[in-house]
Amino acid sequence: MLEIYERLPTALDLDVYGEIELCHIQREKGRFKTTIFTGEIVRIFLERGKIIKVGNALISRCGRVLSVTAKKEDVVRASTDNWSQFSKACYHLGNRHVKVQIGEKWLRILPDHVLIKMLSRLGMSVEYEKSAFMPEQGAYQNVKNHDRII
């Protein structure tokens, strides 16, 4: 079993043992157990409150380096050519505190029939897909308590 206590911003210039594929929920946690490509169990013990980013390097106690990749998940992609429709869709999803991945006139959310119906009514083209889900982390993700904007 590999135990991970250390994270680095990147795996570049490191001797990488392999990849660790994590879904968006796992990347938000600091403590969990999973398996990797070899079938080995990996236990993660990282500082809480900091997300694991795709491309980070996780280093095991025995010195093995794992490069973090995003697991493909069932998501819904909504898109439009109309900036007004796109802006309204983002506003309404944000108003519901929904996790959203935002691209250029497209967005991804986790499947939810109520939200899909709302997006369709707003004129968005909606399709199901399996893709890496990398939702926005929020405006205050990197703000320390004493720097908080009020």
pLDDT single digits (tens) 88-117: 999 999 999 999 999 999 999 999 999 999
Four-way CATH pick for 72-132: 3.40.50.720, 3.20.20.80, 3.40.1160.10, 3.30.70.790: 3.30.70.790
pLDDT for residue 48: 86
Residue 12 pLDDT: 87
The pLDDT score that the predictor gives to residue 97 is 94
Q: Rounded to an integer, what distance in angstroms lies between the CA atom of residue 144 and that of residue 148? A: 6
* Distance from the Cα of residue 21 to its chain's centroid: 11
Q: Is the pLDDT of residue 21 over 80?
A: yes
Q: What is the pTM of this model?
A: 0.85
Give the pLDDT confidence score for residue 146 in this predicted structure: 52
CATH of domain 2-70: 2.60.260.20
